[in-house]
Amino acid sequence: MRTKVIIIGGGPSGLLLSRLLSLDGIDNIVLEKQTKCHVISRIRAGVLESGTIKMLRKAGVAHRLETEGFVHEGIELSFKNHGFRIDLKKLTDKHVTVYGQTEITKDLYDIIEKENGNVINSVENVCPQDLDKNNPFVTYNKNGVEHKIKCDFVAGCDGYHGISRKVIPQNLIQIYERVYPFGWLGILSETPPVSDELIYANHGNGFALASMRNKNLSRYYIQTSLSDKIENWTDKKFWEELKKRLPTKASDTLVMGKSIEKSIAPLRSFVCEPMCWGKLFLVGDAAHIVPPTGAKGLNLAVSDVYYLYNGLKKHYLSNIDEDLNLYSQKALSRVWKAIRFSWWMTTTFHRFPEQSDFDQCIQDSELEYLENSVASQTVLAENYVGLPF
């Protein structure tokens, strides 16, 4: 079997790349180790930048997003239980849209299946080979049978733990990483959100975030120790701690209920340079991870898709390789800007171990200055709604 592009990983970035290539008649095959049911059941957040929405429109999967997604023209920040609003629309003439990553994945699967795209689920032992030569190929097992697909290029959209990055000789890549000394304890509850917009709260006890999935499904987070256990957090204990950290107005109106999902997630920043080797191109979490504080993870993966798709399109339709050769450079420029913004959000809103009263006062002062500076708010807003691709 032969195709032009093999995409390893059937998450949102892999599916989006597949869909866009197919629209331009560029043959591709997606290999995904999990079942479709497993992939579309993953619960992920979804704060979408305008550039991400444009890409989803181009792929023809924006209808549900535009009818069911929640347009947010601002966010609320808080310190000392005092909240203030950042008017994203006024400052940038842009907004973000809250629409779950799970729903994006469903939409992409639906249209790819409708248009007879080629996604092969439940594959094992995926192995890209000869990536530094002119005739790369990928082998995999399906139902106990080994298969081989020849190709021109391989796109590694298989996440941090996937095989794609691991096949690059380690002496040819540089890894940058920062592991943060805390995690997020998150719950999902069938309660109305406490606010129409997201709330990011700095508090002496630690960070808190109020988010939502829909009008009757809320997602809340509080900073906790990485050594903490979910079983140590009853719903009652969680709500009590969340109320302490939110701005007073939100705390007073918070609707509490039984959690239907509870988990603790670590936070880290990770970048692999370069994002390509031979005929292999890394996309999304395979090449970089950001803490969720800045809401950049999925959006960065989509911007990677944008650069790679355009490079492949020009290669096949115009016989021009400049954009493909510059893929890593262009993608990494945007990645590092998002890494910086996510680092700033994380260090400004979280309480670090051994943090002193002086450190807390610096954070409070930073946020007080932000509340009263249009210039500072504009910098935050420009980064939050998404820098240009």
Provide the 3-class DSSP secondary structure of residue 270. Answer: strand
pTM to 2 decimal places: 0.95
**Measured distance CA(279)–CA(133) in Å, rounded:** 8
- Report the pLDDT value the prediction gives residue 190, as an integer from 0 to 100: 95
The encoded tokens of residue 308 equal 């790679």
Q: Give CA–CA dist 176/158, Å, rounded.
A: 19
Over 70: is that where the pLDDT of 113 sits? yes
* Residues 110 and 63 reside in one and the same domain: yes
Is 88 among the domain residues? no
Residue 108 shares a structural domain with residue 196 = no
Instruction: Give the pLDDT score at 43.
Output: 66
Pair (279, 170) in one structural domain = yes
Q: What is the CATH number of the domain that holds 166?
A: 3.50.50.60
List the catalytic residues.
Answer: 72, 200, 292, 296, 384
Residue 291, domain member (yes or no): yes
% of residues, the chain, pLDDT over 70: 99
pLDDT computed for residue 214 by the predictor: 83
Statement to judge: residues 190 and 249 lie in one domain: yes
Give the CATH number of the domain where residue 186 resides.
3.30.9.10
One domain, residues 106 and 251: no
Both 62 and 112 in one domain: the answer is yes
Same domain assignment for residues 195 and 172? no
Structural domain includes residue 90: no
> Same domain for 210 and 326?
no
> Which structure tokens are listed for 295?
């809401």
Judged against a pLDDT cut of 90, whether residue 146 lies above it is answered with yes
Same domain, 254 and 142: no
50-58 and 297-318 helices, crossing angle to 10°: 40
**Predicted confidence (pLDDT) per residue in 29-76, tens digit:** 999 999 998 898 876 768 999 999 999 999 999 999 999 999 999 999
Position 84 in a domain: no
- Domain of residue 378 covers 180-267+351-385
- Assess if residue 81 is contained within a domain: no
CA dihedral 15, 17, 20, 26 (to 10 degrees): -110
Same domain, 251 and 190: yes
In this prediction, residue 341 has a pLDDT band, given cuts at 50, 70 and 90, of: very high
Same domain, 132 and 32: yes
**Mean pLDDT across the chain:** 96
Tens of pLDDT, residue by residue over 116-133, are 899 999 999 999 999 999
Residues 151 and 63 in one domain: yes
Is 355 among the domain residues? yes
**Count of the separate structural domains present in the chain:** 2
Tens digit of each residue's pLDDT (9 = 90 or more) over 231-275: 999 999 999 999 999 999 999 999 999 999 999 999 999 999 999
**Res 381 pLDDT > 70:** yes
SS3 label, residue 209:
strand
Can you tell me the distance from the alpha carbon of 134 to that of 59, in angstroms, rounded to the nearest whole number?
A: 30
How far, in Å, CA of 383 to CA of 294, rounded? 9
Provide the angle, in degrees to the nearest 10, between the axes of the packed helices 12-23 and 101-114.
40
Do the Cβ atoms of 224 and 185 come closer than 8 Å?
A: yes
pLDDT band at 215 (very low <50, low <70, confident <90, very high): confident
Q: Is the predicted pLDDT of residue 101 greater than 70, yes or no?
A: yes
